[in-house]
Amino acid sequence: MLKSFFPWFGLDIGGTLVKLVYFEPKDITAEEEEEEVESLKSIRKYLTSNVAYGSTGIRDVHLELKDLTLCGRKGNLHFIRFPTHDMPAFIQMGRDKNFSSLHTVFCATGGGAYKFEEDFLTIGDLQLCKLDELDCLIKGILYIDSVGFNGRSQCYYFENPADSEKCQKLPFDLRNPYPLLLVNIGSGVSILAVYSKDNYKRVTGTSLGGGTFFGLCCLLTGCTTFEEALEMASRGDSTKVDKLVRDIYGGDYERFGLPGWAVASSFGNMMSKEKREAVSKEDLARATLITITNNIGSIARMCALNENINQVVFVGNFLRINTIAMRLLAYALDYWSKGQLKALFSEHEGYFGAVGALLELLKIP
Amino acid sequence: MAECGASGSGSSGDSLDKSITLPPDEIFRNLENAKRFAIDIGGSLTKLAYYSTVQHKVAKVRSFDHSDKDTEQDHEPPYEISVQEEVTARLHFVKFENTYIEACLDFIKDHLVNTETKVIQATGGGAYKFKDLIEEKLQLKVDKEDVMTCLIKGCNFVLKNIPQEAFVYQKGSNPEFRFQTHQPSVFPYLLVSVGSGVSIVKVETEDRFEWIGGSSIGGGTFWGLGALLTKTKSFDELLHLASRGQHANVDMLVQDIYGGAHQTLGLSGNLIASSFGKSATADTEFSKEDMAKSLLHMISNDIGQLACLYAKLHCLDRVYFGGFFIRGHPVTMRTITYSINFFSKGEVQALFLRHEGYLGAIGAFLKGAEQDNPNQYSWEENYAGSSGLMSSSPELCPTQRARSGTFDLLEMDRLERPLVNLPLLLDPSSYVPDTVDLTDDALARKYWLTCFEEALDGVVKRAVASQPGSVDAAERAEKFRQKYWDKLQTLRYQPFAYGTLTVRSLLDTREHCLNEFNFPDPYSKVKQKDNGVALKCFQRVIHSLDALGWEERQLALVKGLLAGNVFDWGAKAVSDVLESDPQFGFEEAKRKLQERPWLVDSYSNWLQRLKGPPHKCALIFADNSGVDVILGVFPFVRELLSRGTEVILACNSGPALNDVTYSESLIVAERIAAMDPVVRSALREERLLLTRTGSSSPCLDLSRLDKGLAVLVRERGADLVVIEGMGRAVHTNYHAALRCESLKLAVIKNSWLAERLGGRLFSVIFKYEVPAE
């Protein structure tokens, strides 16, 4: 039974990015096709036939989930993102394409669901159904993990993360997920302890997140995109920027069991004028990435210890195309916990909130 | 993770300033006798520690030889006073900028006369860098000590020996510095040292501590990243930039993401959702101030969050912060405090230390002095020789010189005997000696500071008069005046400079300053005379008391105690009368007393109690010499003894005003024993015991008493504590809760205080308290 009229959207409006999931029904009957209003058809065509929208919207084609059954309907789930600052243009498009005539409900989560509610209503004539961010996130993760990734595993981990030769990305079976520490790294970071589908709590959060990495990179290197920042980071050397334990103690600091390679002071070398003059933008980008990532790992590890949880799932768009950060998280968690903690990742890293919003729309428990 | 070992230069260049001339009577004092050196060289400041001995003049009292049976001559003083030289031990700490290190080493070399010292303990990131220079200049071998071990040793030392070492900092509240009461046990605690990185250490005992974690985001990150972002080179300048910035221009706040809806959701819109989040989306220029502020918040919040997580994991609620990022910077203390409050929801307190900058040097010194076992002693901050908190912080005190070129000092005196809690305190961890916190109470502060200023002339006069044979007494007295006057002025602007400002601390500071200029006991002659006069009246007083009926006598004894207490040179109203009218007698004092009912009057309960079984043992803290102790306290003691109560009479270890000292009390007791069989037999049978308090203050801190006294109190099972006098029973201990019965009595000899308490001059406090069942 159809619980909601098409189109099926789930929207997550974050501080930096808007994440949109769209279910494209593939089992439309001829009858339905005939009845389908023009605007609905045009939306479907527009979204599925393009991989980029305007100058900033992008469809993550590689994440598309094919032949999914949702509420008895078969179809493909599409994953689209665009910067939050283009939200006005998106609302304008909704108005132009006459979304309001579709009798649909827009389920939206994220802070922007509140911030843009008024605009949706006055400009787009659309009523938003605002949903709790964390509810959606957890719902989304559990659902996506249950349907897999086109036959592959959704969840994965790294073996030998510190060794570029031997490092392997391996599937992880998250059938027994609880308890679970969920670390969502968007512009900022939220950390949740999840004990069951309905029992979770927000443990803490930090303002040092993806937004901080990218923001600092923009200031330090003049880069303009996240991709550019990561690309620079991949070519840089953070040890020129950071002061390591060995820079202070000449090697390991055995009294405290600190290895020489550990960072003693992030950006610590930059106290010196000569060293400031000797670093490249790439080095700075790398150091920023390492600083933010290590810090998130450290806070996550402390939360895991305090909550007595040993599997930690890292999600959020900071991890998108960010293997350096993921491997570092994997390594840091393993090293500092002496193998007690495991860092897990998920293919659809940033889209779970939007998926959760879609599930709410369809009242899927 | 270590204390800043910055090889980089900030405010401090590497060039050494040799042009400085040091005023030797203020800095590096007592170098002639110095032995044992330790040095802590940080990123910009050097802290030097040395142990030295100080020669003091002390007034000693000694009984005359009575063998010639000629003792009862009327004009002879009861004992003789001689001024002797005494050597006491003192720790000196000097803090100065690294630029002066060479000049300072030269100075030390020139002034170091004897010394068998061969080694200097060194710690801090700069210890390695300056090793050769130190070895060359001082001809001492540099022994490197572990930074963290030194830090913790130093931390334990100050927490143990300086009662108001730790404070919470609350910007905007009054007072901004709230000092913690002295804790009977300082362990366990968390020490978060924010140097270039962050080290988090759990300290469990004197010798056991564990590095439990750290973070690379620390002071070096603020400095390094800040320098990149703002092109500002020095740490202090960065802080200054930050203090003027608006972080909301750079940070993405909750309200930026949620719009106005955060209010209905119960979210605080001003929370930072993403540090530097706005610099990622806009291609606008950001101001240096705003970026510095954002960076400061980012780093402080992160440190606070991690500290809370570690505190929670290890179930600790006391977290001390140190390191150059914190040191004396209200800006960072504020942001760290905010963060700790936020992340712990008020369960963890961010604590800061007054002598945080010295911890490494103190620890290094203690490591080197282990064979002398300095931890077996109690030590005391010398207010005369110490600079006080933020003596050089331009942020807090615009009247002070700029930071550059200042020398900050700390001196600690070694006490002869260890100090401990009075075992009878109801709750040692909540005991606060002082009744009024003058940092809190601006009106009272103003009054007392003025009062001490006005009394200064008289104190100087008396000091000079006490040393008639000395050629330089006037000159020294002037120096004393200047020193104490300066302290009072500092305290007007920085009431928090030496911990909570109290009448006690003002009195103690004055005693320290007097000692500093060799006026160890300006009242010795006055006391001698007063004791002589009072001793002559003793038998008459006893006769008239013995003639009274039991109930009348009890009231007369209490009145005698109170009347005797009017004889107090410490109170200005009284010293005026005493100096102008030496005939002012015991009887007149009684007439001056307020009639019952007294201002605080639980005499009826006390009388009722006396009708019951005798106390097992009374501990009495005596106040003044002369009439007070001889005609007030001793008859009272005698009555208790007659009832079958043992008495421990506790007098000050060292002189303070005209308070009776332990050594004086011995002579007085001996003289009374010669006249009175009750006291004689009680002394012989050790039912009357004389002991020292461990203090040289006109006030009384029951958490720092001579260990011998505490042992006696336990052995004898003291079940009554009598505290007498304004300094001990009103300025301090008025609210002290004890586990046994207590009697606090005083005459208010200060009209301002009397008015404040709702009474008049010479109002009487008679507070008899029985602990709740």
Element (H, E) at B726: helix B726-726
Average pLDDT over residues B56-60: 81
pLDDT at B75 > cutoff 60: no
A269 and B CB contact within 8 Å: yes
pLDDT of B400 reads: 39
Query: How far apart are the C-alpha atoms of B224 and B234, rounded to whole Å?
Result: 10
Q: Is position A133 annotated as part of the catalytic site? A: yes
Instruction: Look at residue B645 and give its three-state secondary structure.
Output: coil
Q: Is the dihedral of CA B524, B530, B536, B539 positive or negative?
A: negative
- Residues in chain A with CB shorter than 8 Å from the CB of B271 are 207
Minimum mean pLDDT range among A15-24, A314-323, B143-152, B564-573: B564-573
Give me the catalytic one of A133, A282, A347, A360. A133
- For A163, other C-beta atoms within 10 Å of its C-beta total 11
Query: How far does A27 lie from chain B, in Å, by closest CA?
Result: 38
Beta strands in A176-317 (DSSP E): 180-185, 189-194, 200-206, 243-244, 263-265, 311-315
Mutate to test the interface with B, among A220, A267, A293, A305 (most CBs of B within 10 A): A267
A291·B216 Cβ contact <8 A: yes
Give the length of chain A.
365
Average pLDDT over residues B734-755: 94
Any idea what the Cα angle at residue B513 is, between residues B511 and B517, rounded to 5°? 115
pLDDT tens track for B443-497: 999 999 999 999 999 999 999 998 988 899 999 999 999 999 999 999 998 899 9
A275 and B CB contact within 8 Å: yes
Query: How far apart are the C-alpha atoms of A18 and A214, rounded to whole Å?
Result: 16
pLDDT of B54 reads: 85
Instruction: Look at residue B701 and give its three-state secondary structure.
Output: coil
- For B239, other C-beta atoms within 10 Å of its C-beta total 21
Query: How far does B218 lie from chain A, in Å, by closest CA?
Result: 6
Query: How far does A274 lie from chain B, in Å, by closest CA?
Result: 8
* In contact, B47 and B145? CB cutoff 8 Å: no
Q: B-contacting residues of A 230-259, CB under 8 Å?
A: 241-243, 245, 248-249, 253, 255-258
- Residues in chain A with CB shorter than 8 Å from the CB of B194 are none
pLDDT of B569 reads: 57
Query: How far apart are the C-alpha atoms of B546 and B378, rounded to whole Å?
Result: 44
Low-confidence ranges of chain A (pLDDT < 70): 1-4, 103, 365
A221 and B CB contact within 8 Å: no
A243·B254 Cβ contact <8 A: no
pLDDT tens track for B545-560: 999 999 999 999 999 9
Task: Supply φ then ψ for residue B672, to 5 degrees.
Answer: -70, -40
Task: Supply φ then ψ for residue B364, to 5 degrees.
Answer: -65, -40
Query: How far does A160 lie from chain B, in Å, by closest CA?
Result: 24
* In contact, A110 and A353? CB cutoff 8 Å: yes
- Return contacts of B85-88, CB within 8 angstroms, 24+ apart: B85/B55, B85/B56, B85/B57, B85/B58, B86/B55, B86/B56, B86/B57, B86/B58, B87/B53, B87/B54, B87/B55, B87/B56, B88/B53, B88/B54, B88/B56, B88/B413, B88/B414
Nearest Cα to B28, choosing from B10, B11, B46, B41? B46
- Residues in chain B with CB shorter than 8 Å from the CB of A115 are 257-261
pLDDT at B4 > cutoff 50: no
B259·A242 Cβ contact <8 A: no
pLDDT of B583 reads: 44
Average pLDDT over residues B523-549: 90
Query: How far apart are the C-alpha atoms of A137 and A139, rounded to whole Å?
Result: 6
pLDDT of B391 reads: 52
Query: How far does B277 lie from chain A, in Å, by closest CA?
Result: 5
Instruction: Look at residue B120 and give its three-state secondary structure.
Output: strand
pLDDT of B529 reads: 86
- Residues in chain B with CB shorter than 8 Å from the CB of A114 are 258-259, 261-262, 265
A273 and B CB contact within 8 Å: yes
- Residues in chain B with CB shorter than 8 Å from the CB of A273 are 8-9, 227, 233
pLDDT of B392 reads: 47
pLDDT at B746 > cutoff 80: yes
pLDDT tens track for B492-518: 988 999 999 999 999 999 999 999 999
pLDDT tens track for B384-403: 999 888 654 444 433 333 44
The two tokens of residue A15 are 């501080």
Give the length of chain B.
773
Which of B197, B224, B271 lies at the smallest CB-CB distance from A269?
B224
Confidence tier at B8 by pLDDT (50, 70, 90): very low
Q: Which residue has the higher pLDDT, A102 or B741?
A: B741
pLDDT of B402 reads: 40
pLDDT at B606 > cutoff 90: yes
pLDDT of B563 reads: 86
- Establish how many alpha carbons lie within 13 A of residue A28's alpha carbon, considering only the half-sphere containing its beta carbon: 17
pLDDT at B538 > cutoff 70: yes
Nearest Cα to B94, choosing from B23, B157, B27? B27
Query: How far apart are the C-alpha atoms of A284 and A266, rounded to whole Å?
Result: 11
pLDDT of B397 reads: 38
- Residues in chain B with CB shorter than 8 Å from the CB of A14 are 257
pLDDT tens track for B677-727: 999 999 999 999 999 999 999 999 999 999 999 999 999 999 999 999 999
pLDDT of B328 reads: 78
Judged on CB neighbours under 10 Å (0-12, 13-18, 19+), A48 is: middle
Q: Output the average pLDDT for chain B.
A: 87
Query: How far apart are the C-alpha atoms of B590 and B595, rounded to whole Å?
Result: 10
Q: Which residue has the higher pLDDT, B348 or B77?
A: B348
Q: Where are the alpha helices (DSSP H) in B467-625?
A: 473-493, 503-516, 524-546, 550-566, 572-580, 586-592, 603-610
Q: Report which DSSP code applies to B415.
A: P
